[in-house]
Amino acid sequence: MRDTAGGLAKGRRALFGRRGGIKTILLEKVLPGGAPLNTGRIENYPGFPDGISGRELMDRFAAHAKAFGLPVREFAEVLGVTQEGESFTVTVNDETLTARGVIVASGTEPVRMGIPGESEFVGRGISYCATCDGMFFRDLDVAVIGGGDSAIEEALSLANIVRKVYVVHRRDALRAQKILQDRAFRNPKMEFLWNRRPVEIAGGQQVERLVIEDTKTGGREDLAVSGVFVYVGYRADTGFLGDLVERDPAGFIITDEELATATPGLYAAGDIRKKMLRQVSTAVGDGATAAVGLERYILGARQ
Ligand SMILES: Cc1cc2nc3c(=O)[nH]c(=O)nc-3n(C[C@H](O)[C@H](O)[C@H](O)COP(=O)(O)OP(=O)(O)OC[C@H]3O[C@@H](n4cnc5c(N)ncnc54)[C@H](O)[C@@H]3O)c2cc1C
């Protein structure tokens, strides 16, 4: 019997589990590393004053977890978790594992705009990841939808590659951190289209046009772009947990201060849980808390 299992992305969860002497496995749907693998530079993680690429930071996390002998199973998608007595059954692809405890750290997925043309052009001009797809738009014009940290970070990284970046935002001010805003406003390749929302994407084989609407006047205009990068929010997909957890109205998992969920032995960490700030640093902190919380539960120290 394994003691812990789960979609543990920031290896920190599993690393603490290993250090605590608990038999632990990390189950990952694709490859370990999560969202930072698709992020350009991370500049706000302590210890890296010059910033570090998301991929390199994740490689270091993985090496650290490996140094403690953590088994990692790649391309292992958790399809279901159920509990019977004090034991969990975790369905992974076409097999099942048994565990005393589970930490869920399955992150979030980008929200889609839900406008005509969006699904048809995914991979043909619509993207949710500038770091993955930006190079396909070298010297072309693109639009970024959104005004938060992710939108502006990704717009800035696109500006190094493309000819022009239109930032389409439904409000008249950005929500992104001030340091990112200052950089964006100084960048000659970026143009801000305030109080506009995307209503349609059109083209032939590839995206050729984004139709935007003025949120105040209702007037519409066409933006000639080859790519549209969407950053309108992130959603939690926790269907594989059934009724084992409580969720907030947006679907994020509700935990207590030890990161325990409504089901004893089931913990949640990182972006998947209801929290104020979703960052690598807070995901790492969650990992430590959840692992120690689960260890206390397994050892019977938690009442
Ligand atoms: C564009 C962008 C830029 C960002 N920039 C920064 C930044 O500069 N600084 C910063 O601190 N943070 C940044 N963040 C936020 C940061 O990436 C997240 O807060 C952090 O990665 C959360 O970690 P996590 O482990 O909770 O989730 P994730 O990193 O999303 O990892 C979740 C993992 O779970 C796996 N998974 C999902 N479902 C299952 C399943 N059913 N079975 C098995 N595995 C599963 C996924 O494949 C994934 O690997 C950025 C995020 C984005 C999207």
R_g of the chain computed on alpha carbons: 21
Give yes or no: 129 in active site. yes
Average pLDDT, the chain: 92
Cβ atoms 228, 142 nearer than 8 A = yes
Give yes or no: 59 in active site. no
Angle at alpha carbon of residue 132, lines to 128 and 137, rounded to 5°: 85
Q: What percent of the chain has pLDDT over 90?
A: 84
Mean pLDDT of the region 114-122: 96
In 68-116, alpha helices (H): none
Cβ atoms 255, 274 nearer than 8 A = yes
38 CA to centre of ligand 1 in angstroms: 9
Is the CB of 45 within 6 Å of ligand 1?
Answer: yes
What crossing angle do the helices spanning 12-19 and 54-67 adopt, rounded to 10°?
Answer: 20
- For residue 19, what are its two tokens? 């250090």
Kindly state the greatest CA–CA separation across the chain.
63
- Give the pLDDT score at 132: 84
7 CA to centre of ligand 1 in angstroms: 11
- Tell me the pLDDT tens digit for each residue of 55-65: 999 999 999 99
106, 154, 289, best to mutate for ligand 1 pocket (most atoms within 8 Å of CB): 106
- Give me the catalytic one of 3, 59, 133, 182: 133
- Give me the catalytic one of 59, 129, 141, 214: 129
Cβ atoms 77, 26 nearer than 8 A = no
CA-wise closest residue to 100 among 287, 239, 240, 265 = 265
Q: Where are the beta strands (DSSP E) in 160-268?
A: 164-168, 190-193, 196-203, 207-214, 220-224, 227-230, 234-235, 266-268
Which amino acid is located at 34 in the chain?
G
| Residue 141 CB contacts under 8 Å (≥ 6 apart), including other chains | 162, 163, 164, 165, 166, 224, 225, 226
Gap between the Cα atoms of 13 and 255, Å rounded = 16
Whether the pLDDT of residue 9 is over 90: the answer is no
| pLDDT classification of 8: cutoffs 50, 70, 90 | very low
Is the CB of 133 within 6 Å of ligand 1?
Answer: no
Tokens 């076409």 correspond to 94
Is the CB of 30 within 6 Å of ligand 1?
Answer: yes
- Tell me the pLDDT tens digit for each residue of 78-89: 999 999 998 999
- Give the pLDDT score at 40: 77
- Tell me the pLDDT tens digit for each residue of 253-272: 999 999 999 999 999 999 99
Is the CB of 157 within 6 Å of ligand 1?
Answer: no
Angle at alpha carbon of residue 107, lines to 69 and 88, rounded to 5°: 60
Whether the pLDDT of residue 235 is over 60: the answer is yes
Conformation bin of residue 6: beta by default, left when phi > 0, alpha when psi is -120 to 50: left
Domains and CATH numbers, the chain: 2-108+236-298 (3.50.50.60), 111-230 (3.50.50.60)
In degrees rounded to 5, what are phi and psi of residue 76? -115, 90
- Give the pLDDT score at 300: 86
- Give the pLDDT score at 19: 57
Residues 148, 149, 152, 157: is their CA dihedral positive or negative? negative
- Give the pLDDT score at 1: 43
| pLDDT classification of 20: cutoffs 50, 70, 90 | low
Is the CB of 284 within 6 Å of ligand 1?
Answer: no
What three-state secondary structure class fits 28?
Answer: coil
208 CA to centre of ligand 1 in angstroms: 31
Whether the pLDDT of residue 10 is over 70: the answer is no
User: Which atom of ligand 1 approaches the CA of 8 most closely?
Assistant: 34
Give yes or no: 222 in active site. no
| pLDDT classification of 6: cutoffs 50, 70, 90 | very low
Mean pLDDT of the region 165-169: 98
- Give the pLDDT score at 131: 83
- Give me the catalytic one of 3, 50, 59, 132: 132
Q: Taking the model in full, what pTM does it have?
A: 0.86
Give the DSSP H or E segment for 83. Answer: strand 78-84
Whether the pLDDT of residue 173 is over 50: the answer is yes
